[in-house]
Amino acid sequence: MNALPLLLDQPVSAWGLPPDQPYREKQIRTWVLQRFVSSYEEMTDLSLPLRTSLASRFRLRAAEPVTIQGSEDTTRKFLWKLGDGSYVESVLIPATQGLEGNRSSRLTLCVSSQVGCAYGCRFCASGIDGWRRNLTAAEIIGQVLEASRIAGRRPDNLVFMGMGEPLANLPNLLPALDLLISPSNLGMGARHVTISTSGLAPQIEELAYHPLQFRLALSLHAASDAIRDKIMPVNKRYPLDRLLEACDVFVRAKKKQIFFEYILLAGINDSPEQATLLAQHARRLFAKVNLIPYNKVEGLPYERPSEEAIHLFCRTLLKAGVRATIRREKGHDIDAACGQLRLRQEMKQPEPT
Ligand code: SAH
Ligand code: SF4
């Protein structure tokens, strides 16, 4: 059965509305994209026959909340159950910004793009149990709509930094982005949507020429092939030369700043030599660097460097003229920080068919 949210991106002629009721389009858009309803019954200004007809043709929800965990720092983690019984997670992170007296609260939603992940980065929880399947466009959008309903409003920012590798799922990601970004639908605004990739060079080039605008974050995590090979198997397929060349293409075509994500792993990638090399790569691409002190994942052997080492690494970048910040993450106590999302035993996934 098709998904109702996806229909909103189709010409109205495809909706099968009664020909004398063109105003129904706006009503349906409002129920789905502004009120985030979870059932057709709630669409009270639609006639019963229309509701019944829509319900028989279009599924309204693609993800249903199973658990909602709240962190002490007010981050919330959602576990969603999908139509086939698989589970994925999203994380809602509030942030206060602005000066005293003029504070506003921004909501960032971190969404998943796949069930599991095939890329097996050594430090990441999401790849531990392998890849199950791609999320459909409706399931990607479903995470946003469901989280909006629970939060009472649409998030201000979206980051594809949950479970999975978004660029390995472009056929579903692109239609989802279209709906999330386009002003006539969810209207997120391209500057507020960030896609993070472990470095799929051909897809980065493909996106360079795609009309959709969004921000790109590259999970670099090591500045030389010798170290990247050890912690990110994808580097064997697309070594740094090839990857940075693809980023060149992206930056030139899109005329946009990209971001490097760099997890700091004690004794692995936090040496001054790595900082110097990283600064060279960042300067070449005018990239901004987000340093992420490693979040502990149970069963993995890595440690976060000392505060002193983290600051030293950051200072080396700044001195080399690179924009760099240390990202302090939220949601540690509920395993909702970057890289802590995983398919746990208790989320019994159905066997692949
Ligand atoms: N597959 C994509 C997007 C999901 S991962 C990618 O790799 O970019 C989202 C971010 O979390 C990436 O930057 C990833 O490298 C980072 N991450 C993974 N494990 C982590 C951990 N244990 N601590 C901190 N960040 C982690
Ligand atoms: Fe997959 Fe990204 Fe985790 Fe690597 S860091 S295993 S690509 S989710």
What structural domains and CATH numbers belong to the chain? 7-57 (no CATH), 63-348 (3.20.20.70)
Q: Give the residue numbers annotated as catalytic, written as ranges.
A: 89, 338
Using the atom order of ligand 2, give the atom closest to the CA of residue 125: 3
Token pair belonging to 198: 């472990």
Residue among 161, 163, 294 to mutate when testing ligand 1 (max atoms within 8 A of CB): 161
* CB neighbour list of residue 92: distance below 8 Å, 6 or more residues apart: 75, 76, 77, 78, 107, 108, 109, 110, 147, 151, 155
* CB neighbour list of residue 275: distance below 8 Å, 6 or more residues apart: 223, 313, 316, 317
Using the atom order of ligand 2, give the atom closest to the CA of residue 219: 5
pLDDT one digit per residue (tens) for the chain, 353 residues: 899 999 999 999 888 898 888 899 999 999 999 999 999 999 999 999 999 999 999 999 999 999 999 877 789 999 999 999 999 999 999 987 666 666 668 999 999 999 999 999 999 998 888 999 999 999 999 999 999 999 999 999 999 999 999 999 999 999 999 999 989 899 999 899 999 999 999 999 999 999 988 999 999 999 999 999 999 999 999 999 999 999 999 999 999 999 999 999 999 999 999 999 999 999 999 999 999 999 888 899 999 999 999 999 999 999 999 999 998 866 777 676 655 666 654 454 555 54
Residue among 89, 124, 163, 342 to mutate when testing ligand 2 (max atoms within 8 A of CB): 124
pTM reported for the whole predicted model = 0.93
